[in-house]
Structure 1
Amino acid sequence: MSESDTDDLLKEFGISGDEESSDGDGEGAAAEWAAMIEGGDDDEDGAAVDRILNQDEIDNLLGFDSGDMGIGDLSGVQALINSALVSYERLPMLEIVFDRLVRLTTTSLRNFTSDNVEVSLDSITSVRFGDYLNSIPLPAILTVIKAEEWDNFGLMTVESNLIYSMIDVLLGGRRGNNTIRVEGRPYTTIEMSLTNRMIELILDDMHKAFEPLTPVNFKIERMETNPRFAAIARPANAAILIELRIDMDDRGGKVEILLPYATIEPIREQLLQMFMGEKFGRDPIWEGHLATEIFNADTSIEAVLHEWEIPLSDMLKLEEGDTLMFERSPSDPVSLRCGDVMLTEGIMGHIGKNVSVRVTRPLNPPKVTMAVFEAMDEQGDD
């Protein structure tokens, strides 16, 4: 490249050739380039080239939101991390069960407190077990509950406001929320005992709520105040979190029920139903149609007089006119078969020119049950 071409190129980028020639190593050109970049940014938005993100922008990028633990509106990196979580919307029957729990608990707590109690379902979300433990506001009472028929555990958290409100109601405290709360102290024996009774009422209502689906009894395993001692699953395990709000006029609080997916796995098929009794409910129209088609079906029945084994060499020696002697008398029963299935026995006879068989005992009970067909359906789905 000639010197004139170099000068033209420098003029095109706004760099004077004199400054570059005066700087033997090109420092003047580099300084002018830096000034041009900084000046262009200042003209556009007045910000530096390397702009630092604030905390809100970082949280938005990563998808972290401490106020909402659900997976419905996650974004960014957090959405990728929680993509393996199973949304509770895939278990339609679960919401029906806990709606039923709300109605039952409202009646039970009204009888328990003799006060106007309103129970509402705040939310049902899918969470990681470790994230939930870290988000529990302390102090609180954490109750480990055991589902005996499912042979697994769940967690029920009663927050501090509800504990104090329940104590006020049961022991005749004044109405209002201006009561002085002593934070940081352990719960007394009276507070633990009354909270235990309230939890037992809720667990009994949970038993009634799940009863249309499956019989299950919930029992209190232990009560803790430290989340580290209430670990019932691995931190990364997915779980269903149900938040219930209990209001007693101008006081109340929240109860949170956490059920790991491993706990509700035994009734997953029932929870996938769209309505109560979808799979195992009786459908008289379908039953009538199936019975009609079965009655109209044709089948072949064989009457077997007698069977015995002979060598193949003797079989090949048979000729026309040979006589085979069956060790049977006319009164001996014959076997009635459908394919390879033995149905019953009968006595040979004749009606006019037709050979007949009179059934002498009831049909054999079938050896194939519905469990076999269900297993075949599952193998077909896989």
Structure 2
Amino acid sequence: MSDELPKTAVEEPAEDDWGAALAEAAEDDLAAHAAAERILADPVPVAGPVEPTRVLNQAEIDSLLGFGNGAGGDDGGGSGMERVIARGLVSYERLPMLEIVFDRLVRILSTTLRNFTSDTVEVSIDEIQSLRFGDYLNSIPLPAMLSVFKAEEWDNYGLVVVDSALIYSVVDVLLGGRRGTSAMRIEGRPYTTIERTLVERLVNVVMNDLSEAFAPLSPVRFKFERLEVNPRFAMISRSSNAAVLVRLRIDMDSRGGELQLMLPYATLEPVRDLLLQQFMGEKFGRDSIWETHLAEELRQTGVALDVVLDEQTMALSDVLRLQVGDQILLNVGPGAPVRLRCGETSLFEGLVGRRNDRLAVRIENVLAREDASRGAEDLA
């Protein structure tokens, strides 16, 4: 009996402690699960009202990225991400004078190409658009010839692209091809030296006409630099830079092709203020009738002439002591020349005399601009 009682007394407290530990662990697990459920049910509050999150469906995602069948729509302006990217471009429509310059180029080029080819030539503008330079290089249809030119006064470059149809048409016309027949096209071969030389002559004609088209706005000379057949060697600007593209359609009877003129906006930056002008007409704002009228009215404007006999410098105290009857002696003798002034400008030298019982001045000498300004400084 004495041996079992202590054993029983030792085991009972151990079982009680183990049960209490299990119960406490179970309560902790229940509390943790309850806290997790509360967190999931009630998120952490934020400042302001929380709007429910809207999930885009697949059609809306395709429309945003421009992958849908209706991308571009009827407005032709693209959709989604294309519009976001295009927002960074500068539209050529913000430069009103640029359209007038290109319209003038078409008229001049039509006459020049008729003399150049001795054939009937019609030049028209197919499209004027703004795009990124890298996108344009990737869209050039090959084979083509890319001519790099430099605007010397603006210290920047431009690009003229002649497509294969126009190349073969020009070669056929200049080398005496029969009229009324389409030009023969041989694809898959490099351009010959004769073809490159004739295209270079065509580009020089376009450069001269482009310089003449810009002449009323700003004198500039476009100089041909080099001829390339690979767009990678015609990088005159960064791929992300904006540029303006003009597509010109050149038709010669049943032959013809397309000539594309690319001008980066960095090239047009020196004359940007002039291109922003509006309603200037073909003469770019110059009105000869108004100039003639203004010149006639200025010639009829009345001005006052002062005859200066002499000028002296006196102390203020001497001026204050002057009384009625005092005399001021002039430092000029009889017959000395006098100056005629308009305001502060000396214009003439003359002699004082009398005519018909009136004092008169006879002009003897017309003062030059330097003498007049020197005389005004001496008088001052």
Give TM-score, length-normalised by structure 1.
Answer: 0.65
Matched, 1:76 2:80: no
Matched, 1:304 2:311: no
Q: Distance in 2 between matches of 1:270 and 1:187?
A: 38
The CA RMSD over aligned residues, in Å, is 4.3
Match of 2:106 among 78, 99, 102: 99
Q: Distance in 2 between matches of 1:364 and 1:138?
A: 67
- What amino acid maps onto 1:125 in structure 2? Q
Alpha carbons of structure 1 residues 300 and 201: separation in structure 2 relative to 1, 3 Å: closer
Structure with greater Cα Rg = 2
Task: Tell me what 1:345 maps to.
Answer: 349
Alpha carbons of structure 1 residues 70 and 327: separation in structure 2 relative to 1, 3 Å: farther
1:195-274 equivalent positions in 2, closer than 5 A: 195-210=199-214, 216-264=220-268, 265-266=270-271, 269=274, 272=277, 274=280
Shift of 1:213: 5.6
Q: Distance in 1 between matches of 2:352 and 2:122?
A: 77
- What amino acid maps onto 1:80 in structure 2? R
Alpha carbons of structure 1 residues 69 and 350: separation in structure 2 relative to 1, 3 Å: farther
Secondary structure in structure 1 of the residue aligned to 2:162: strand
Contact 1:348–1:356 at 8 Å: present in 2 too? yes
- What amino acid maps onto 2:296 in structure 1? A
Alpha carbons of structure 1 residues 69 and 151: separation in structure 2 relative to 1, 3 Å: farther
Q: Structure 2 stretches of 5 or more lacking a match?
A: 1-33, 41-53, 372-380
Secondary structure in structure 2 of the residue aligned to 1:299: coil
1:26-45 equivalent positions in 2, closer than 5 A: none
Shift of 1:143: 0.9
1:108-187 equivalent positions in 2, closer than 5 A: 108-111=115-118, 117-170=121-174, 175=181, 179-182=185-188, 186-187=190-191
Shift of 1:258: 1.8
Give TM-score, length-normalised by structure 2.
Answer: 0.65
Mean alpha-carbon deviation: is it higher for 172-181 or for 341-350?
A: 172-181
Q: Distance in 2 between matches of 1:147 and 1:276?
A: 22
Alpha carbons of structure 1 residues 260 and 117: separation in structure 2 relative to 1, 3 Å: same
Q: Distance in 1 between matches of 2:106 and 2:213?
A: 9
Q: Distance in 2 between matches of 1:230 and 1:326?
A: 80
Alpha carbons of structure 1 residues 298 and 102: separation in structure 2 relative to 1, 3 Å: closer
Q: Structure 1 stretches of 5 or more lacking a match?
A: 1-23, 31-47, 368-382
- What amino acid maps onto 2:107 in structure 1? R
Task: Tell me what 1:287 maps to.
Answer: 292
Task: Tell me what 2:196 maps to.
Answer: 192
Shift of 1:239: 3.4
Contact 2:251–2:257 at 8 Å: present in 1 too? yes
Task: Tell me what 2:336 maps to.
Answer: 332
- What amino acid maps onto 2:288 in structure 1? R
Percent of pairs with identical residues: 41
Q: Distance in 2 between matches of 1:266 and 1:137?
A: 31
Alpha carbons of structure 1 residues 118 and 350: separation in structure 2 relative to 1, 3 Å: closer
Q: Distance in 2 between matches of 1:89 and 1:179?
A: 39
- What amino acid maps onto 2:157 in structure 1? F
Shift of 1:243: 1.0
Match of 2:66 among 42, 59, 65: 59
Secondary structure in structure 1 of the residue aligned to 2:203: helix
Cα distance per residue 1:283-337 (max 9 Å; x no partner): 1x66346524651x44322221111323334333434443322220121122222
- What amino acid maps onto 1:257 in structure 2? L
Secondary structure in structure 2 of the residue aligned to 1:309: coil
Task: Tell me what 1:379 maps to.
Answer: none
Cα distance per residue 1:25-45 (max 9 Å; x no partner): 9x9xx9xxxxxxxxxxxxxxx
Task: Tell me what 2:94 maps to.
Answer: 87
Shift of 1:260: 3.4
